[in-house]
């Protein structure tokens, strides 16, 4: 009897705590959740875990059909690896898994799916008045279902609002983040591939304790106070998978695309007076690999020209096929100088496969 009462009280306390994390909806209709970094890691993501419990379970079932069997088998042994190397991260995942009644190893798998296959378009432009703007489309499998677990995480520490990030329920690392008046970051996966060797390499990097690219973004958003710090952070950490780190800042020419190998930087492209725009999909454009989404982004920038407005860039570059495609989930418009962080759910009417996804 006493044990039952204790269990009910504990459950009531957790539900009450999770409801306190929900902060309503923003103007674009996204759920807002407070992620309080002062809490025990297991308690930080209870709000999204409760709110999206059924959809998270459904998506995990879908991921299990998509993730290669050799990778799926590896996640059965992954719990202790993540717990040993990354106890804070593991605590956050474990807390969500327990509250949503999901096996922890499956929740870990969900948090590493982005390391294996995903697609995006990110762009940075310098407007005619010198303002830096940063935009992105995020593309991923099961777009309709994934769109339904997208929320805005507002991160707090010591009672202070640190930054905002576009989040997927069940996943603790952001792929798009904004620190007001400081900088913005987006992550594109580099050359996604079904190549078995690359998949095995990524799994090996997980087993040896290396970081997710998204976790590095989270650390940069938490610890950095300016663009230069953020660029240094995402340039020097070692990562599980190759990636593109797209960073924009507050001042003139603070915009860069950093092509990352696992242990080093492969290439850097910088906004300048001559290069007023940058674009990145999922291939090494600097080596001449520029398939259809890359070609469209370049042509659209040339079409709108240097006098383009934010809306003209957004509509012509990101909201037209092929950069808006059947895998597109959400877009973001960001500018540290303008205090702009606007995220929208996006839907492609043209469902034709661009061929480079």
Q: How far apart are CA 315 and CA 24, in angstroms?
A: 28
Strand partners, 243: 189, 260
Q: Is 304 helix (H, G, I), strand (E, B) or coil?
A: helix
Q: Is residue 282 part of a domain?
A: yes
The number of domains in the chain is 2
77 in the same domain as 134: no
Cα–Cα dist 255/275, whole Å: 10
Domain final residue, candidates 114, 141, 172: 114
Report if residue 353 sits inside a domain: no
Q: Are residues 7 and 123 in the same domain?
A: no
Q: Is position 162 within any domain?
A: yes
Query: Does 318 share its domain with 189?
Result: yes
Output the six-digit token pair for 58.
């459904």
Is 243 inside a domain boundary? yes
d(CA 328, CA 144): 9
* DSSP codes, 10-58: HHHHHHHHHHHHEEEE-TTS-EEEEEETTS-GGGTTHHHHHHTHHHHHH
Q: Kindly state whether residues 167 and 46 are assigned to the same domain.
A: no
pLDDT score recorded for residue 9? 41
Question: What DSSP letter does each residue of 115-166 carry, written as one string?
Answer: GTS-EEEEEEEE-TTS-EEEEEEEE-SSHHHHHTTEEEEEEEETTEEEEEEE
Whether 131 and 192 share a structural domain? yes
**33 and 161 inside one domain:** no
Q: CA–CA separation, 218 vs 98, rounded Å?
A: 23
- The CATH number covering residue 124 comes to 3.60.60.10
Cα 352-356-357 angle, rounded to 5 deg:
75
Look up the domain containing 57 and give its range: 2-114
Contact between residue 293 and residue 350 where contact means Cβ atoms under 8 Å apart: no
By DSSP bridging, strand 243-248 and strand 183-189 are antiparallel
Alpha-carbon Rg for the chain in angstroms: 20
The answer to whether residue 356 sits within a structural domain is: no
CB 21 within 8 A of CB 34: yes
Whether residue 121 is found in the same domain as residue 93: no
Q: What is the pLDDT along the chain (357 residues), one digit of tens a residue?
A: 545 544 444 444 444 455 569 999 998 999 999 999 999 999 999 999 999 999 999 999 888 887 777 777 778 778 888 999 999 999 999 999 999 999 998 999 899 877 767 789 999 999 999 999 999 999 998 999 999 999 999 999 999 999 999 999 999 999 999 999 999 999 999 976 556 677 778 888 888 889 999 999 999 999 999 999 999 999 999 999 999 999 999 988 999 999 999 999 999 999 999 999 999 999 999 999 999 999 999 999 999 999 999 999 999 999 999 999 999 999 999 999 999 999 999 999 999 999 998
Question: Does one domain contain both 93 and 234?
Answer: no
Query: Smallest Cα–Cα separation from 85: which of 58, 118, 108?
Result: 108
Q: Are residues 88 and 220 in the same domain?
A: no
Q: Is 64 part of a structural domain of the chain? A: yes
Sequence-distant (6+) residues with CB within 8 A of 280 are 121, 122, 123, 188, 244, 246, 257
Report the pLDDT value the prediction gives residue 280, as an integer from 0 to 100.
Answer: 98
Please list the alpha-helical segments (H only) found in 224-291.
227-236
Residue 357 within a domain: no
- 90 and 221 share one domain: no
């Amino acid at each position: 009897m006493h044990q039952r009462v204790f269990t009910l009280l504990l459950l009531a306390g957790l539900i009450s705590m999770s409801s306190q994390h929900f902060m309503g909806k923003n103007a674009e209709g996204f759920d807002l959740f407070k992620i309080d970094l002062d809490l025990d890691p297991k308690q930080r993501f209870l709000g999204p875990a409760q709110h999206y419990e059924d959809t998270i379970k459904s998506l995990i079932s879908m991921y299990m059909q998509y993730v290669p069997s050799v990778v799926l088998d590896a996640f059965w042994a992954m719990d202790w690896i993540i717990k040993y190397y990354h106890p804070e991260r593991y605590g956050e995942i474990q807390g969500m898994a327990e509250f949503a009644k999901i096996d922890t190893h499956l929740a870990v798998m969900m948090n590493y799916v982005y390391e294996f296959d995903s697609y995006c378009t990110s762009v940075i432009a310098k407007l005619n008045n010198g303002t830096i703007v940063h935009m992105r489309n995020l593309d991923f499998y099961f777009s309709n279902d994934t769109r339904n677990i997208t929320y805005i995480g507002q991160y707090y520490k010591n009672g202070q609002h640190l930054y905002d990030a576009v989040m997927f329920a069940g996943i603790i690392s952001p792929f798009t983040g904004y620190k007001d008046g400081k900088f913005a970051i987006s992550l594109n996966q580099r050359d996604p591939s079904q190549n078995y060797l690359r998949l095995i390499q990524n799994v090996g990097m997980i087993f040896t304790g290396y970081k997710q690219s998204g976790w590095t973004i989270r650390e940069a958003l938490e610890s950095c106070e300016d663009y230069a710090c953020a660029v240094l952070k995402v340039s020097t950490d070692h990562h599980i998978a190759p990636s593109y780190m797209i960073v924009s800042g507050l001042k003139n020419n603070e915009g860069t695309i950093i092509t990352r190998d696992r242990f080093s930087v492969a290439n850097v492209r910088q906004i300048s007076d001559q290069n007023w725009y940058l674009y990145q999909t999922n291939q090494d454009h600097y080596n001449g690999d520029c398939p259809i989404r890359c070609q469209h982004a370049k042509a659209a920038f040339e079409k709108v020209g240097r006098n383009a407005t934010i809306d003209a860039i957004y509509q012509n570059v990101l909201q037209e096929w092929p950069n808006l495609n059947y895998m597109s989930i959400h877009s973001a418009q960001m500018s540290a100088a303008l205090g702009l962080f606007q995220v929208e759910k996006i839907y492609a009417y043209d469902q034709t496969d661009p061929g480079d996804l």
